[in-house]
Structure 1
Amino acid sequence: MIKAVLFDLDGTILNRDASVEKFIDNQYERFKNSLGHIPKELYTSRFLELDSRGYVWKDKVYQQLITEFYINGITWERLLHDYLLEYKNHCVLFPNLISMLEALKAKSILLGIITNGRGQFQFDNIVALGIEKYFETILISEWEGMKKPNHEIYEKALMQLNVLANESVYVGDHPENDIKAARKVGMKSIWKKDIYWNDVEADFIIEDLSEIPIIIQKTDMAR
């Protein structure tokens, strides 16, 4: 019987690509006096390239942009501060997230988030999306002092939910940090398809979050 479902954040329930593009577009317009000499499409594409899907922190990204594009009138520190303050207001959820969470809650399934990233920044994004109320536990790597794929962060979440690994499912988009790591702990895994990876070995593969309650039901019926 599946008692808990845990989720990754970026790329799984939060559409990070769309969120970053939305934020950068807005930031460019708000600071156009300093950035206007750069074509918006070029500024956006270079930011995304340097950002490397969130694996490079923005201090380095903005420092590089300042240097490459000869940006005057604004510092990288100011741009970074703006990112920390404003990004949460541009976060985009993947379709059907809320209805999926509601469906799982209706079955009395416990929910959690395990995400890598900076503590307050990630938590602010979750709160801004209005979804924190659905989750019994939220573990963010900076606050926990450990990050995925470390098995201890998964085990801590399971302990907090008071469930066994084989009673739990983890949903994520990263083959190593999410899927392989969760399976090593003994959890079932659901890979949310991502264009950046192919041939991921998971227990289940989905394209849309709405598929999750159906998978849980079928898994329980097969036991």
Structure 2
Amino acid sequence: MCIDVVVFDLDGTLVDHEGAVVRALHDWLPRIGVAPDAVPPLVSTWFATEERHFASWRSGEISFAEQRRRRLRDVLPLIGRSVPDDAELDRIFEDFLHAYERGWRAFDDAIPCLDTLAAHDLRLAVLTNGTQTQQTEKLRRTGLDGYVERVFTAEGLGVAKPRPEVYLRVCAALGVEPSHTLHVGDHPDLDVRAPREVGLQVLHLDRHDTHLESPRISTLRDLPRLLDGQSKIAGTALN
């Protein structure tokens, strides 16, 4: 196995996006009138609307701001709030966003993994579906920015995962062959199947042990040992 660069997904892989959202909702929703005991049932609804409308942005159907507004248009009526105009929706989402930013945390296995890989002179990068400013700031606030050579975003590249060209553009920008690039992430479609189809080596970070894809690991702590040839992972071997 020859790996020149490891490209990591960000949310759900290096940074606990789900945990940050849950913390934000428990902080923000009561401040806009939701009883604390009514927050937990709304969490799954929030994630469902996020997935649906973020996918529309990812495919280029709507703007980044509009996917945020559509999420609020779905959720606000459920908590007895009327849906205001776009300017007010943007202000309301900004309040949620501040709470979300306060909840950013790196997974506890992220820095040990990156530290070990960097010590072995492996080049590291991030490829994330998101905006350049937010995702770069997320890396900075979580202490991960110093480990990565480049941060590639859907906004910056003009194309989002799982479009095939996004992975090839990253490889070209880094000056590496796809076959010498390892893509690591938690989403089976975006981080495993799609990059594999264009020739990258892939590794599914299966934190919840759902056995969706192979090869896979359940913690980033296994990645340095894997690349060093000292451990095995579930499923087929990298090649």
TM-score scaled to structure 2, two decimals?
Answer: 0.79
Alignment of 1:102-121 (within 5 A): 102-121=115-134
Q: Distance in 2 between matches of 1:197 and 1:99?
A: 24
Does residue 140 of structure 1 match 2:114?
Answer: no
Structure-2 residue corresponding to 1:19: 20
Q: Secondary structure at the match of 1:98?
A: helix
- Tell me how far 1:180 sits from its aligned partner: 1.4
Q: Is the 8 A contact 1:89 1:128 kept in 2?
A: no
Q: Secondary structure at the match of 1:156?
A: helix
TM-score scaled to structure 1, two decimals?
Answer: 0.84
Gap regions ≥5 residues in structure 2: 56-66, 231-237
Does residue 209 of structure 1 match 2:220?
Answer: yes
Deviations 1:159-191 (Å, cap 9, x if unpaired)? 232222222211011222111122122221110
- Between 170-179 and 51-60, report the one with greater CA deviation: 51-60
Does residue 52 of structure 1 match 2:62?
Answer: no
Amino acid paired to 2:220:
L
- Between 107-116 and 142-151, report the one with greater CA deviation: 142-151
Deviations 1:40-76 (Å, cap 9, x if unpaired)? 323434323433388363322222222222127x953
Q: Distance in 2 between matches of 1:158 and 1:216?
A: 19
Q: What's the C-alpha RMSD, in Å, of the aligned pairs? A: 2.8
Q: Distance in 1 between matches of 2:184 and 2:46?
A: 28
Structure-2 residue corresponding to 1:127: 140
Structure number with the bigger relative contact order (C-alpha 8 A, sep ≥ 6) is 1
Q: Distance in 2 between matches of 1:173 and 1:96?
A: 14
Amino acid paired to 1:47:
W
Q: Distance in 2 between matches of 1:186 and 1:179?
A: 11
Q: Secondary structure at the match of 2:176?
A: coil
Alignment of 1:34-53 (within 5 A): 34-36=33-35, 39-52=38-51
Q: Secondary structure at the match of 1:104?
A: helix
Q: Secondary structure at the match of 1:209?
A: coil
Q: Is the 8 A contact 2:208 2:218 kept in 1?
A: no
Match of 1:165 among 178, 181, 187: 178
Closer, same or farther: CA 195–66 of 1 in aligned 2, 3 Å: same
Give the paired residue count: 217
Does residue 61 of structure 1 match 2:71?
Answer: yes
Does residue 2 of structure 1 match 2:3?
Answer: yes
Q: Distance in 2 between matches of 1:176 and 1:27?
A: 31
Q: Distance in 2 between matches of 1:128 and 1:154?
A: 26
Q: Distance in 2 between matches of 1:151 and 1:116?
A: 13
Deviation beyond 4 Å, 4+ runs, structure 1: 194-198
Gap regions ≥5 residues in structure 1: none
Q: Secondary structure at the match of 1:35?
A: coil
- Between 114-123 and 17-26, report the one with greater CA deviation: 114-123
Closer, same or farther: CA 66–205 of 1 in aligned 2, 3 Å: same
Does residue 181 of structure 1 match 2:181?
Answer: no
Q: Secondary structure at the match of 2:143?
A: coil
Closer, same or farther: CA 96–197 of 1 in aligned 2, 3 Å: closer
